[in-house]
Homo-oligomer: A and B are copies of this chain.
Amino acid sequence: MRQDILEYLLAHKGEFVSGQKISEHVGISRTAVWKHIHALKKKGYVIESFTKKGYCLQAAPELLQPDVIRKGLQTKVLGHTIHYYEKLDSTNNVAKKLADQGEPEGTIVIAEEQTGGRGRLSRSFFSPYGKGLWFSVILRPDFSPMEVSKMTLLAAVALTKAFRKMGLTGGGIKWPNDILVHNRKLVGILTELNASAERINYLVMGIGINTDISQQDLPRELREAATSFAIEKVPVHRAALLQEVLRQLEAQYMLAKESGFAPILEEWKNLSCMLGQMVDVILPNTTFRGKAVDLDETGNLIVMTDEGPQKVIAGDVHVRPAVG
């Protein structure tokens, strides 16, 4: 029904068509037409409406259709197979199901909107229609499950490099894989894996990047904590950003496969905004303060305290700049 209305408006793009005409064409009431128009506006369609003149579609949002993504894509493997959805509970869930069924490395699952987007440690992830890149990549590295935490550091490196390429030059990585701009989160990464004790069967890397979210779009509890390309006043074309992210991700991934994670951990240190800073490390039962000084070879954060160096392992730990 909504698709019928949209097609009718698209066929008359730039012209005013009356609600009556649309209602007759589609076979629903004018009130129902109005409701669908309202929903389309929320999805990013720019539709003017004037009493007596009717509705006029002025601009359609650019969706992340597979052909748009593929055109100009510079990768060898990542993103060549694309599963595109307008709405999903979570792209990671769909990617995991596909991977279970044997979907090969490089396939991506992308949605304009996630209704059950998930972040690390079972947190939910805000992913409204058309206002960000919400996607998951299936990888099948011949790595041990012990290397998974380094894969999340790799993702943070690739994303930061892609963002700088797209003109967002501020920001840096907060351990382990948050990307902060003006101290607010721009990105969520959720890496999930299916493995035996010796080898990863597949790894699903879910990435959420806030592009067009405005300050008003954000739920109240995220207003101080999150940002977006739009909020940072760096306009970005979603498909171009995705292409660059996939290119960087593939480059770092190939590097890890060929040379191991050492060069990636070095790059992580260069891009981090945390090393050299005083931090509070909040564990389930205790908190301590120290200076974040290094990353060890397995990706743990080394924090120098009064009692000597402490190794911080990713998990139920929260690290924040020292306060007070």
Contacts and interface: CB of A to CB of B under 8 A. Distances in A.
Contacts of A145: 145-146, 148-149, 193, 195
B315 A198 contact: yes
Question: 3 nearest interchain CB pairs?
Answer: A191-B197, A152-B197, A145-B145
Q: How many copies are assembled?
A: 2
B144 A197 contact: no
A248 to B, nearest CB: 19
A192 interface: yes
A313 interface: yes
19 contacts: A120-B197, A120-B198, A144-B149, A144-B315, A145-B148, A145-B149, A146-B149, A146-B298, A146-B313, A148-B195, A149-B197, A149-B198, A190-B197, A191-B196, A192-B195, A193-B193, A193-B194, A198-B314, A199-B315
Most buried by B among A145, A191, A315: A145
Contacts of A56: none
Tell me the dominant secondary structure on chain A's binding face: mixed
A151 interface: yes
Nearest to A177: B197
Give the contact-size bracket for chain A. 20 to 34
Nearest to A300: B146
Interface in A9-25: none
Contact of A197 (B148, B197, B316): B148
B195 A195 contact: yes
Nearest to A192: B196
A323 interface: no
A315 to B, nearest CB: 5
A317 to B, nearest CB: 9
A176 B197 CA distance: 11
Interface string A218-241: 000000000000000000000000
Nearest to A143: B315
A151 B193 CA distance: 17
A121 B199 contact: yes
A58 to B, nearest CB: 43
A195 B193 contact: yes
A296 B280 CA distance: 30
A268 to B, nearest CB: 14
Given A145-B195, A192-B195, 7 more contacts: A121-B198, A144-B313, A148-B195, A176-B197, A192-B197, A192-B201, A197-B314
